[in-house]
Amino acid sequence: MLSVPAVRTTSASPAPNPQWRAQELLLMSEVMRLVGKSLAPEVVLREMLHLISELLGLNRGRIVLADFVGDIALEGLANRKPEARGAPDAMPSSAIRYAYGLTKAEMARGRYGPGEGITGRVLATAQPIIVQDIDAEPQFLARSVARAQLPQDVVAFIALPIEVNREVIGVLACHRIRSRDRQLADDVAVLKILATLAGQLLQLQALVADKTRALQTKNKLLTRALETAAARYGIIGTSPALLQALDELERVSEATASVLLLGESGTGKELFARAVHLSSQRRDQPFIKVNCAAIPDTLFESELFGYERGAFTGAQGTRAGWFEQADRGTIFLDEVGEMPLAMQTKLLRTLQEGTIVRLGGKREIKVTVRVVAATNRDLEVDVQQGTFRRDLFYRLNVIPIRLPSLRERQQDIRALAVHFLSRVNQANQRNVSLSPEALVRLEQHPWPGNIRELGNVIERLVLLTDSTMVTGRELDRFLPAAQGLPVETSSHDAPPASVAGSPVASAPLVRDYQFAQSHSAVQLEQVLAAHGGNQSRAAMAMGLTVRQFAYRLRKIGLHKGDSL
């Protein structure tokens, strides 16, 4: 009662019915439509088995797969050694994976040992088998569905191998009522096509799964590499905005052109400037940092270019300036927008000619220096207003790199907070940690002061908290109040509270981040006068550090030395 196709129609076979041809075409079009929507075998194969039941009357369809399918990539099956077919140690076990018309319990019973039953033989021999009458075939096990649950008519069973790269990985099988007005050969032909399609879908699934695993492994390696390299040059973070800035930095690291670092205050310009130096061939040469905002106008030339003995009163010796000390290395001009116009002209000459002349000197000194400048000002606006030389701007702005604000690096906040926390804990012999809620709260804060503000908040928190685990609620008292506008743009038109009351009582626990132009000259003068010229008390009353207060006085020409 067993037969191996090709199946031939005899003279007694019924003539082809046009209705069956229409059903076949509908079946194929529906299956292709499914494939166009999804390549997932669990979606396509089960619906395919549903369609052959509804349209062709081939019932209780199932796809049985060898146990090794899913454990290894299918594209590797062609490289498996071709063991002798039929050898018990080479035959795989198998189980029903997809079915239609079978209950879960029936599918669970559909397990076959090596070479067991009709299904096991097809899997072992790679040959299709047709059982003309399951009642007359002793090798038909009726394991999934008991014979009593099948129609009383003569039932046939068709089992076809599913191959991938010429290796049998499964079986497509179904029941068929033998007495039908449809040729058996037609059913076998359609099932062969569907078995081939099933093999291709399974192979594609395995290819996608293998590629996905490879990409996941690669992603883990890259993530680990990024985390390891996240602190390179002392810069912590893996956000896209930061990585883009780092990529731009490293691409120009070997050039000699000037780099202009742009961005808000507190975004880490000094670290980026040092990174430009460390990533270049000048890494073993000097790196000189110059804070242009901290140098009095009268000392700019002597600081940058040095001086000769007797150049001015008190010049009892010769001193090399910052440019001369940075020879063959890198000089970082921080807050370059604060440089006075007269000095901008001399700086431009040095950048163009590569020479300096010491104050009081008569000979030119050749220097080879890579210039990295930084500013949080809009230099183009300063150029239009005439406070910054246009030609110097073009000379510095050869390679502009914008540093992202902390608001653009939200995913880096957690890593930065943990870094600052570890550093401050170690420096102060504390053991303070942040709860998950506190870390989320840090990520939600707008951080107008950027990384500098975050570091200051963490330091205050470690020094002032009484807890070893800081909760989100406790963290709130260390954070500036979130408002509609950034803290630095808050209105300061009202007189400071310290003028009317106690300056100590009015000072906030957490000092808000302030722009350099946060207070007018009138306000500074009023507060300073209200505290008898004591800059420390005046600074405390305005929520500033003494250094910040003195810097603002110096900007308006009132700085006469700290009065403590």
218 lies in some domain: no
224 lies in some domain: no
The domain in which residue 318 lies consists of 240-404
Amino acid in position 402: R
* Span 265-292, average pLDDT: 92
Confidence of residue 284 (pLDDT cuts 50, 70, 90): very high
482 lies in some domain: no
**Boundary of a domain, candidates 376, 404, 432:** 404
508 lies in some domain: yes
* Span 200-225, average pLDDT: 79
pLDDT at 76 exceeding the cut of 80 = no
* Span 173-188, average pLDDT: 87
pLDDT at 504 exceeding the cut of 50 = no
pLDDT in tens, 521-533: 888 888 888 877 8
The pLDDT score that the predictor gives to residue 237 is: 86
**Cβ neighbours around 64 below 10 Å, total:** 26
pLDDT in tens, 456-475: 999 999 999 888 899 988 99
Same domain, 265 and 324: yes
Per the model's pLDDT, the better-predicted residue between 111 and 547 turns out to be 111
List the CATH number of the domain containing 203: 3.30.450.40
Both tokens of 216, joined, read 């996941």
483 lies in some domain: no
Lowest mean pLDDT segment, chosen from 16-25, 35-44, 81-90, 418-427: 81-90
Q: Rounded distance, CA 393 to CA 410, Å?
A: 32
* Span 431-454, average pLDDT: 92
Same domain, 183 and 36: yes
* Span 485-505, average pLDDT: 36
Same domain, 323 and 459: no
Using N-to-C axis directions, what is the helix angle for 18-37 and 184-229, rounded to 10°? 0
Same domain, 254 and 130: no
Same domain, 204 and 246: no
Lowest mean pLDDT segment, chosen from 28-42, 238-252, 274-288, 482-496: 482-496
Same domain, 450 and 496: no
pLDDT at 438 exceeding the cut of 60 = yes
Same domain, 386 and 435: no
Same domain, 95 and 76: yes
Q: Rounded distance, CA 339 to CA 387, Å?
A: 9
**Boundary of a domain, candidates 209, 232, 248:** 209
| Three-class SS state of 41 | helix
**Boundary of a domain, candidates 154, 186, 209:** 209
Same domain, 352 and 420: no
The pLDDT score that the predictor gives to residue 533 is: 80
Confidence of residue 4 (pLDDT cuts 50, 70, 90): low
* Span 88-106, average pLDDT: 83
Same domain, 38 and 183: yes
Number of structural domains the chain divides into: 4
39 lies in some domain: yes
pLDDT in tens, 313-326: 888 889 999 999 99
Q: Which percentage of the chain shows pLDDT scores above 90?
A: 43
227 lies in some domain: no
Q: Which residues neighbour 314 within 8 Å (Cβ) at sequence distance 6 or greater?
A: none
The pLDDT score that the predictor gives to residue 521 is: 80
List the CATH number of the domain containing 309: 3.40.50.300
Same domain, 58 and 198: yes
The pLDDT score that the predictor gives to residue 212 is: 84
Q: Rounded distance, CA 478 to CA 459, Å?
A: 10
Q: Rounded distance, CA 267 to CA 264, Å?
A: 6
Which residue reads 């050898």 in tokens? 87
Q: How does the average pLDDT of the chain come out, rounded?
A: 82
The pLDDT score that the predictor gives to residue 534 is: 81
For 178-265, strand residue ranges (E) read 259-262
List the CATH number of the domain containing 422: 1.10.8.60
Same domain, 33 and 104: yes
Lowest mean pLDDT segment, chosen from 13-22, 74-83, 311-320, 406-415: 74-83
Amino acid in position 123: L
234 lies in some domain: no
